Amino acid sequence: MSHQLSRVHGVLLHRDTTKTADSDATLPMPALCATALRHRRRVQDDARREAGDKWQDSDLVFTTKWGTPIEPRNFNRSFELHTRKASLPRIRVHDTRHTCASMLAALGVHPRVSMRILRHSQISVTMNVYTQIASPETRKAHDQLNDSLDGENP
């Protein structure tokens, strides 16, 4: 079963339903994601042991050190901190969905498959809002611009 957090009248609520029935459909998970989630489970198990009786079970994957839901603003701050530490450009958590859509297009994944992965109900949203397709010429121009800004080409 899928769960989500929603803010209602300023309070975070743990809901047992998602927006649509398709949101509950099973998708294959890339090995990289499975590895990251196993690591997250170990971190959470350590936090549970450390918290002892103060731990609050919630069935959520990402929680505070006490097992409670993470405040979305704090999650966003943590995401920004991790991207900065990794020397990545500043992006919002939601922007990772756009990145996923664009990467799937660059890999030649059929647009309908991308639509299902992103849980969109309309292919126009996937293709016109989420997906940016870089042509080889655009990629070459970006590479040249990047080299120029890095000082490699005067």
Per-residue pLDDT tens digits for 40-59: 999 999 999 999 999 999 88
pTM comes to 0.67
Neighbouring residues of 133: CB distance < 8 A, sequence distance ≥ 6? 102, 105, 106
Q: Quick one: which of 76, 128, 81 has its CA closest to 101? A: 128
Count the Cβ atoms, other than its own, within 10 Å of residue 91: 13
Task: List beta partners, residue 7.
Answer: 12
DSSP codes, 42-54: HHHHHHHHHHGGG
Q: What is the pLDDT of residue 2?
A: 60
Instruction: Locate the domains of the chain by residue range.
Output: 1-15+31-93, 94-154
Reading the block at residue 123, the tokens are 């292919």
Instruction: Name the stretches of the chain with pLDDT < 70.
Output: 1-4, 14-24, 151-154
